[in-house]
Structure 1
Amino acid sequence: MSKFIETLTPQNATLLLVDHQVGLFAAVRDYTTAELKHNVVALTKAARVLGVPIVATTTAADSLWGPLAPELVEALPPELEIIDRTTVNAWDDPRVVAAVAATGRRKLIVAGISTEVCLTLPALSATAAGYDVYGVIDASGTFNDTKRATGLLRLQQAGVIVVDHSAVAVEMLADNASPLAGDLYAAVGMDFGILNGQLRQAYGNQS
């Protein structure tokens, strides 16, 4: 049970992004395309600010679902090799398992399209392999309410920790006095961030 109360840190976590491809984005119905793109890009940028390793995959990019969303490609490290596979479950591809294992971290943050397949299946497999898995629901998406509900239930039944993208980011930041805080909040791009910036500017003008 300790995994439910242990803290995520930049030193113990890896981010796995599964199949955020343009053809799948087009079918998502539980988030708007713009909102989902914002969330997964924000999660990716936050991971880079914090130095969290990233593994990213596609499925049959040349024949079925197309490439990764260009906004996500831009946010990823330029040297990162995207693992294109044929398996439905990303964890069934040995390259994905090897890439995650190579980080040496036991906490795995996962997001994917669709929630009930691309997120859930590797999350269950990684849990079975001994990882503490965090499913980022608002950086994932699916095609109808039934798929969303059954995916969430299956994640929870397996002990996957259900989270959202900004909570993951600030949990790993840990301290607002960190020199990374400004870049982290800029990366996450929360709606109230502009107001916070205006407050800081106002207080600065008073000094």
Structure 2
Amino acid sequence: MSYHSRLTRENAALLIVDHQVGLYTGVRDIDTLSLKHNIVGLAKAAAALEVPVVVTTTTEGLWGPMIPELQEALPGIDRIERTTVNAWDDPRVVAAVEATGRKNLIVTGISTDVCLALPALSALATGYTTYAAIDASGAFTKQQADAGVMRMVQAGVVPVCYSNVIVEILADNAAAEANAVYAALDMPFARLVGGLNQYFSNKK
């Protein structure tokens, strides 16, 4: 089994593929409210850690615009609208990822078996270590999601979840960005811990 070096804010980038209104209407393997929560949390936390984010959509005239929650979470980041099925087949997407200077690429997409899997596999083949954010992606059936994940894992893509990949990058809960990161991830236990920390700080 290959060992992958730790993800850090200096070596990681995030590629967000096709989180579009029309595609969300077909997602069936994850509740769409949970999906939105997870991708928005991932995007906000990455921004808090200054991890570069590349965003792409496909054929918006067919699949609609990027979901508004994600647009709001990523102010100032221009999305690349393309027509290719595989985002990695568009030279602008590859150039944007290359421009980050990072070789560890976290990828998320709708659908898991196409919009996530195909660029993750292509980036892997061109020398990137790729991480598939499974719970920040969605598929049209559970079978499609499972097949996409199995295909990626067999090729060497690393499956992760939206929160654990960010916490790995954060690395230290004493970091200045920790509160912003946990607020972005919006995990119930993190809110509880944050409340307890505030309570005990006020008691000092």
With the length of structure 1 as denominator, give the TM-score of the two structures: 0.96
CA RMSD, aligned part only?
1.1
SS in 2 for 1:130: coil
Distance in structure 2 (CA, Å) of the matches to 1:30 and 1:191: 22
Q: How big is the shift at 1:5? A: 3.4
- Of 94, 98, 122, 1:125 maps to 122
SS in 1 for 2:55: strand
SS in 1 for 2:188: coil
Q: Which residue of 2 aligns with 1:74?
A: 72
Q: Which residue of 2 aligns with 1:15?
A: 14
Distance in structure 1 (CA, Å) of the matches to 2:162 and 2:106: 10
Distance in structure 2 (CA, Å) of the matches to 1:180 and 1:96: 28
Q: Which residue of 1 aligns with 2:179?
A: 182
SS in 2 for 1:64: helix
CA contact (8 A) 2:58 2:82 kept: yes
1:32-51 alignment, distance < 5 Å: 32-51=31-50
Q: Deviations over 1:97-150 (max 9, x none)?
A: 000001111000000000000000000000000000000000000011210110
CA contact (8 A) 2:19 2:110 kept: yes
Q: Percent identity?
A: 59
Q: How big is the shift at 1:200? A: 1.2
1:54-133 alignment, distance < 5 Å: 54-61=53-60, 63-78=61-76, 80-133=77-130
Distance in structure 2 (CA, Å) of the matches to 1:94 and 1:194: 41
Deviant stretches of 4+, over 4 Å: none
* Comparing 193-202 and 137-146, the one that deviates more: 193-202
Can you give the 5+ residue segments of structure 2 that lack an aligned partner in the other structure? none
Q: Which residue of 1 aligns with 2:143?
A: 146
- Between the two proteins, the alignment pairs up a number of residues equal to 204
Q: How big is the shift at 1:172? A: 0.4
CA contact (8 A) 2:15 2:106 kept: yes
Q: How big is the shift at 1:95? A: 0.2
The amino acid across from 2:95 in the alignment is A
